[in-house]
Chains A and B, each alone.
Chain A
Amino acid sequence: KAGVTQTPRYLIKTRGQQVTLSCSPISGHRSVSWYQQTPGQGLQFLFEYFSETQRNKGNFPGRFSGRQFSNSRSEMNVSTLELGDSALYLCASSVDTGELFFGEGSRLTVL
């Protein structure tokens, strides 16, 4: 069974640009969650989607957005990038039990 796939794995952007990250969940998983991981802050919850609907949202500014498609694939977008957005962005899928299956992450560097 294929795991959670995130693309791209690494990317470098400059301040003010926008970025789109993609996540393909495990087949049959309808819930997709996104987290931001930074040293010292751990994993910060961004949002969670289930059947194309955002069910939960963390405390991030509106520059962070996401969506989920009918095949459960999800994307997250960050607009007007800031230096502080540099982080590892993790996607996790689930069958809705709370147990999360993580991808390897997309490492974003903002210069």
Chain B
Amino acid sequence: AQSVSQHNHHVILSEAASLELGCNYSYGGTVNLFWYVQYPGQHLQLLLKYFSGDPLVKGIKGFEAEFIKSKFSFNLRKPSVQWSDTAEYFCAVNGPGGYQKVTFGTGTKLQVIP
């Protein structure tokens, strides 16, 4: 069965600091990779996704993620965080079992201090 690990449960940063959130998955076959974000009081929404091609993908609001197949990793990065980035971030992977069996990590709560 697929498992997804997010290394940091709670991260506190000051505005303008750089962000990197770790994500590792266990399944070695073909996968699609996602980062979702849940802002306070809002529903989960897609931040970025990787299906194939360039392993460096760019998402909304200046976020990017790098897929490193050899390390089974898909880390999320942002060069300079803003207070509005305060949210919970979830890494997700689909496969095996078809496209719609999407496994989520336990999430990382990011708090950005002004």
- Chain A positions within 8 Å of B, measured between CB atoms, are 3, 31, 33, 35, 40-45, 48, 50, 55-56, 90, 92, 94, 96-105
Q: Are A99 and B46 in contact (CB under 8 A)?
A: yes
Q: Are A90 and B32 in contact (CB under 8 A)?
A: no
Mask, B12-47, CB within 8 Å of A = 1, is 000000000000000000001010100000111110
- Out of A3, A40, A41, A97, name the residue touching B99 (CB < 8 Å): A97
- The complex places the Cα of A102 from the Cα of B42 at a distance, in Å, of 10
Q: Are B104 and A96 in contact (CB under 8 A)?
A: no
The chain A residue with its CB closest to the CB of B105 is A42
- The complex places the Cα of A43 from the Cα of B93 at a distance, in Å, of 12
Given contacts A42-B105, A42-B107, A102-B45, contact A48 B100 (CB under 8 A): yes
- The complex places the Cα of A3 from the Cα of B43 at a distance, in Å, of 11
- The complex places the Cα of A33 from the Cα of B107 at a distance, in Å, of 19
- The complex places the Cα of A55 from the Cα of B51 at a distance, in Å, of 21
- The complex places the Cα of A101 from the Cα of B44 at a distance, in Å, of 8
- The complex places the Cα of A3 from the Cα of B106 at a distance, in Å, of 25
A interface SS class: strand
Closest 8 pairs between A and B when the two form their complex, measured CB to CB = A42-B106, A43-B104, A102-B44, A98-B94, A56-B101, A98-B32, A98-B99, A48-B100
B90 interface contact, C-beta 8 A: yes
Q: Can you sample 12 A-B contacts with CB below 8 Å?
A: A31-B100, A33-B100, A42-B104, A45-B103, A48-B100, A97-B32, A100-B36, A100-B44, A100-B92, A101-B46, A102-B45, A105-B43
Residues of chain B from 85 to 102 with CB closer than 8 A to chain A in the complex? 90, 92, 94, 97-102
Residues of A with C-beta under 8 A to B106: 40-42
- Out of A56, A96, A99, A103, name the residue touching B97 (CB < 8 Å): A56
The chain B residue with its CB closest to the CB of A94 is B100
Residues of A with C-beta under 8 A to B90: 42-43
Residues of A with C-beta under 8 A to B103: 45
